[in-house]
């Protein structure tokens, strides 16, 4: 993956100082966090990307896909290059419905265009690359006759598999399985040392608005979280569970005073809990009910980590929605009980088209000759937010497809 990773780094900028003027804004939460996590708890203060392989007890500033005070990522980079190509066409307002295929060969893609299903045919050497995300990609495969038999049976009975016969189905229980999302817990923190910031896009402070509009600088050019820290913990079964914590600039839900900020605690790599992509009664895809804490040890690991960091909280920092002296058992009960602050999905969906089960090692859909997947469906849980990983997967699958074309 090193080549793909380096290509993304070369084309997609990143920074831990999003504001175009190079200044850090809204730093009261950062200062509290550094005093707590570095001075009291002993985490190392690092430049995150300079210590990218170390996610054990490190603290720093988050790294964002920003350029010139604005979000970057693939749209102002990859897409702009693609738009210059003579054989590239971007069709917005269009949804892919299913892949038209004859046995193992895709011959076109059915799309919903202006409310009408329309077939986009492939040439004799054409390929289909599905990149609809970890929820929609498995669904698109199912609608194309590739997936769990129970799902294909339902779709067939509803007349949603086009002209595919039962003999042309490609049963594969791995399609949609292994779905992952980070379990998230919000902890509201308050301190006299905190100055909260809540953005108002309808009525921003004039000085902040002017600074952003004229110079892409100031609070509105900042990315919303001022600090991040990572840790991990070994589990009895040998797994190593990762934790990522970010600190925002304001409160949330019932706690939005001028001295309140939000701690976002994610479980990351090494968690065992998984769900599946399922089709509801209207055949709309979504996660099943097993996404979060379906493996009980995951909750205990995260609760133990929260107890560890609570134990080092400075005396002038108050936890508002969970007692700072809560036991591990109490924290576990809190984070696994649905509320505005716990068990919330963060839409970091991944894993639902596992390599060597749903696709082969090159990203080609198992059972198909000219259909690939290139999105978060291929990713196992990362120790960080998945945006960069998704882009690296896209680079790698493109490399493998082109290698086959040129062979």
Q: List the domain boundaries for the chain.
A: 18-74+184-272+293-344, 93-179+350-406
- pLDDT range class, residue 405, cuts 50, 70, 90: low
- Which residue's entry shows tokens 């399985």? 177
pTM, to two decimals: 0.93
d(Cα 258, Cα 275) in Å, to the nearest integer?
38
Q: Which helix (H) or strand (E) holds 116?
A: strand 116-121
| CATH topology (fold) of 18-74+184-272+293-344 | Cholesterol Oxidase; domain 2 (3.30.410)
| CATH topology (fold) of 93-179+350-406 | FAD/NAD(P)-binding domain (3.50.50)
- pLDDT range class, residue 406, cuts 50, 70, 90: low
Q: Which two tokens stand for residue 152?
A: 């294909």
Q: Which helix (H) or strand (E) holds 156?
A: helix 149-157
Q: Characterise 103 by phi-psi region: left (phi > 0), alpha (psi -120 to 50), beta (else).
A: left
The percent of residues in the chain predicted with pLDDT above 70, rounded, is 99
pLDDT of 268 reads 96
Of 302, 229, 231, 308, the C-alpha closest to 272 is 302
Q: Which two tokens stand for residue 274?
A: 């998984």
Q: Characterise 188 by phi-psi region: left (phi > 0), alpha (psi -120 to 50), beta (else).
A: beta
- Other beta carbons within 10 angstroms of residue 215's beta carbon come to 14
Distance, CA of 79 to chain centre: 20
Query: 360: which residues sit within 8 A by CB, 6+ positions away?
Result: 366
Question: To the nearest 10°, the Cα dihedral for 134, 75, 405, 167?
Answer: 30
> 3-class DSSP state for residue 58?
strand
Q: Give φ, ψ of 390 to 5 degrees.
A: -65, -40
Q: pLDDT for 279-297, tens place per residue?
A: 999 999 999 988 899 999 9
Residue 98 β-bridge partners: 110
Q: Which two tokens stand for residue 181?
A: 């999302």
Q: DSSP assignment, residue 355?
A: B
Q: pLDDT for 61-114, tens place per residue?
A: 999 999 899 988 899 999 999 999 999 999 998 999 999 999 899 999 999 998
Q: Which two tokens stand for residue 148?
A: 């769990």
> 3-class DSSP state for residue 64?
strand
- pLDDT range class, residue 389, cuts 50, 70, 90: very high
pLDDT of 407 reads 47
Average pLDDT over residues 268-281: 97
Q: At what angle do helices 133-143 and 149-157 cross, to 10 degrees?
A: 60
Of 314, 217, 266, 159, the C-alpha closest to 21 is 217
pLDDT of 224 reads 85
Per-residue CA distances from 404 to 200, 354, 373, 401 (Å)? 50, 21, 15, 5
Q: Share the mean pLDDT of the chain.
A: 95
> 3-class DSSP state for residue 102?
strand
b/e string for 298-327 if b means 16 or more Cβ within 10 A? Answer: bbbbbbebbbebbeebeeebebbbbeeebe
Query: 399: which residues sit within 8 A by CB, 6+ positions away?
Result: 3, 4
Q: Which helix (H) or strand (E) holds 388?
A: helix 387-406
pLDDT at 190 over 50: yes
Instruction: Specify whether the CB–CB gap between 247 and 263 falls below 8 A.
Output: yes
- Other beta carbons within 10 angstroms of residue 231's beta carbon come to 20
- Asked if domains 18-74+184-272+293-344 and 93-179+350-406 share a fold, the reply is no
pLDDT of 377 reads 98
First to last CA, the chain: 20
- pLDDT range class, residue 222, cuts 50, 70, 90: confident
């Amino acid at each position: 993956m090193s080549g793909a990773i380096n290509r993304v780094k070369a084309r997609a900028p990143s920074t831990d100082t999003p504001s175009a003027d190079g200044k850090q804004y809204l730093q009261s939460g950062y200062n509290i966090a550094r005093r707590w996590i570095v001075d009291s708890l002993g985490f190392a203060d690092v430049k995150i990307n300079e210590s990218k392989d170390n996610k054990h007890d490190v603290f720093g500033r988050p790294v964002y896909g920003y350029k010139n005070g604005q979000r970057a990522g693939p749209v102002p980079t990859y897409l702009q290059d693609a738009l210059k190509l003579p054989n590239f066409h971007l069709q917005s307002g269009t949804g892919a419905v299913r892949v038209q295929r004859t046995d193992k060969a895709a011959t076109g893609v059915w799309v919903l265009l202006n409310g009408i299903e329309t077939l986009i045919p492939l040439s004799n050497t054409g390929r289909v690359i599905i990149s609809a995300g970890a929820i929609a990609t498995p669904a698109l495969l199912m609608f194309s006759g590739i997936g769990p038999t129970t799902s294909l049976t339902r779709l067939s009975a509803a007349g949603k598999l086009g002209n595919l016969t039962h003999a042309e189905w490609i049963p594969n229980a791995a399609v949609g399985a292994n779905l992952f999302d980070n379990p998230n817990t919000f902890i509201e923190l308050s301190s006299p040392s905190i100055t909260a910031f809540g953005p108002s896009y309808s009525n921003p402070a004039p000085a902040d608005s002017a600074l952003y509009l004229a110079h892409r600088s100031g609070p509105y050019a900042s990315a919303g979280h001022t600090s991040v820290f990572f840790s991990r913990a070994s589990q009895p079964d040998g797994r190593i569970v990762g934790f990522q914590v970010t600190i925002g600039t304001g409160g949330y839900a019932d706690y939005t005073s001028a001295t309140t900020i939000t701690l976002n605690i994610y479980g990351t790599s090494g968690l065992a809990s998984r769900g599946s992509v399922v089709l509801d009664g209207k055949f709309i895809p979504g996660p099943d009910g097993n996404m979060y804490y379906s493996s009980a040890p995951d909750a205990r690991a995260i609760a133990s980590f929260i107890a560890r960091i609570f134990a080092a909280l400075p005396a002038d920092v108050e936890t508002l929605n969970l007692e700072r002296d809560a036991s591990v058992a109490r924290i576990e009960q809190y984070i696994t009980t649905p509320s505005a602050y716990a068990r919330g999905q963060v839409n970091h969906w991944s894993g639902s088209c596992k390599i060597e089960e749903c696709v082969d090692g090159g990203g080609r859909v198992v059972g198909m000759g000219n259909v690939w997947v290139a999105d978060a469906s291929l990713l196992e849980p990362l120790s960080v937010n998945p945006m960069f990983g998704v882009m690296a997967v896209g680079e790698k699958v493109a490399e493998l497809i082109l290698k086959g074309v040129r062979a």
